Structure 1
Amino acid sequence: MDNLTPSDLFSPSKARQQRAQAQDWAHIDSWLSYKYSGRSVPSFERNEETLKVLRELSMANERADESRITIERVEREALKEIDEAVRNEDDVRLLSKLRSSLTPEGEQALDALASTTVALNTPTANPETIAHALIQHTTTSQNLTNQLAYIQTLQDYLTKQHSLLRAQLNALGTNPAFVAPSNLQRQTTEQTRQTKHLRTKIREYEDKLSSLQLNQSRSMTPGSKYIGSADAIGEMLEQQKALDEVREKVEGLEREVGEFAGLPADREAARKEVGKLEVRLDEVRRRRDELFEGLVGK
């Protein structure tokens, strides 16, 4: 609720979403505190992806706890039934008589059959039922083994990629090619100052040219309206030429300044921005090479 913005107060859907996330985080914090039993919970980034993973982990843990409690209750009930069966004297006499009537091999086979039935948790000691249970357990074990192998391979791949990304990040941070010039801010300030000065000169020349054209038009008689003085025309051409040169110079400086327009004034921030642009350039180049290789392959 602390990260609600003023605009969220007028959006019921956003407010509900924020409240739901706050409740989920409260549940996660309580669950983590219980699991760590008074120890300090490690710090982690609090975002939607982390909340989703922790919520799924909490639900899986609760399901596992419920399954464990159910198994313990069933085991207690089974032990209770076994104790009651042992205390039944008729059953004891029947079991003793049955054991005394069996050969050593038969008694061993009966014990093996009973142990297998209990281990597989089958409802009966029917050999066919035990065989199906064995097949199911073997299949499940093989599937789990394959999944563990796949997860291990995926973990190795992610570890390798993480190492490569760390190496690339270190290279980007230490490569002199990605270091911004030390005098970048001074150059930008100087070029901006020159641009402003030249813009002032352009406006000054344009005003002079307009004034000259106005004076010339006023000094002309109706009969000589379309006939200009040679000196005036020459002066206008020279001023126009000077104006074009100044305009070209200003445009060139504007293009140079424009290359640094998106960079922040701080040198370290500008260096990081240049690094990001270099990384993006490398990605575009790799994409271009992949597309070219795909076209050549076709």
Structure 2
Amino acid sequence: MAHLLPDTAIFSPSVARAVASAAKDWNFVDSWLQQKFHGRSPPAFERNADTLRTLLALASVNEAADEERELIARLEADALHELRQLQAQQDQGNTADAAREAVLSAVEDGLSREGTAALNSMASVAVDFGMAFASPADLGRCMVELSAQADELEQMEARVGILSRYLEQEARGVAGLVKELKGEEYRPASDLAKQNLEIQRKIRTIATRLPELRDKVASLENSVGMPSPTIDQVQREEQAYLALLAQKKELDAQVKSFQGLPPNTDQARQELESLRTELRRVTNRRNAVFEGLVERETPKKPTRLP
């Protein structure tokens, strides 16, 4: 429940039990780490559910190993005591190898099935890690490092998968583009070589005529003479041009007023006269309406009695 905030109210009994269990487990893990680091603060690590499960498993394995180690120590003490008694009874020719074999045999005979399995597991882990004198703390640290490396490799695998899918998508796009470029739309014309030869022939022909054309242009310049206008002439021409534009706009406005009239002069006069008649009629109606409104709105004076 590491994702819950400390001040979050918990209303579900199952959630409350889970939070209490997690807090109890973290207290156990913290006390175990304090014991293993002999009062020193352990290294900083991420406190989440996965880390809690890993540390609980490691603490359980460590406690089992401690119990097995205490059992082995007692057995070794008993075996050593018996060995000393045997050494007192045996000849002086017994070697250290024989004593070690006897101790190991006694220890091996005294272990339970679970103890033998735990000892073999610790030995195989130590061999895999390349540790000659492995301690539970060293084995736990190596297991945590391996877990971190495994997580990092999983993230790298995910990133490589995303990159691989992106490259596959781009490869499909490139393949489609290549297929489209190989289609009929982008295929060169069958007479492209012939057109190229014809264009090259025209270029060579024009290139051979360039000196002659340059001579003609030079002779024309000498005979006719190129104009060299001054700034005042350009300004006068510009003013004349602007005056013509203004005159054109006025004429366009005048012509636009006659837009819609028939092209025949007589018909145009008749239509203009009918429009004038309509205008007079509308004007008279407007005046009559206005006079009616004035009479209606003007207050009438009371008549005086004689």
Normalising by structure 1, we get a TM-score of 0.36
**Greater radius of gyration (CA):** 2
Normalising by structure 2, we get a TM-score of 0.35
